[in-house]
């Protein structure tokens, strides 16, 4: 749930100088152009960007049995 929001918060602002301490980019990033991590800002952007980095056969879908104990679905 809220994966995009949670992961982007963990990564920090794109500009490491503006990222909150404790985020990946604040702690380890040096410049905007050489980020250590990338995360799409929404499902539409992800749909465009995923094929830039992964082949179709590298993308997997699965259901974890554990999720029924973790998620309120």
Q: Is the pTM of this model over 0.75?
A: no
Measured CA to CA, the distance from residue 70 to residue 68 in angstroms comes to 6
Q: Residues 39, 43, 45, CA angle at the centre, nearest 5°? A: 65
Residue spans per domain, the chain:
3-70
Answer yes or no: 61 catalytic.
no
- Give SS3 for 39: coil
Active-site option among 38, 47, 50, 54: 38
pLDDT tens per residue across span 63-73? 888 888 887 76
Tokens of 31: 């410049």
What tens digit of pLDDT does each residue of 8-66 get?
999 999 999 999 999 999 999 999 988 789 899 999 999 999 999 999 999 999 888 88
Q: Which fold has domain 3-70?
A: Alpha-Beta Plaits (3.30.70)
């Amino acid at each position: 749930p809220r994966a995009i929001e949670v992961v982007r918060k963990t990564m920090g602002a794109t500009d490491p100088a503006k990222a909150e301490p404790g985020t990946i980019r604040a702690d380890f990033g040096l410049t905007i152009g050489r980020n250590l991590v990338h995360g799409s800002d929404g499902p539409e952007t992800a749909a465009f960007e995923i094929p830039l980095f992964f082949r179709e056969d590298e993308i997997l879908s699965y259901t974890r049995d554990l999720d029924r104990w973790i998620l309120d679905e």
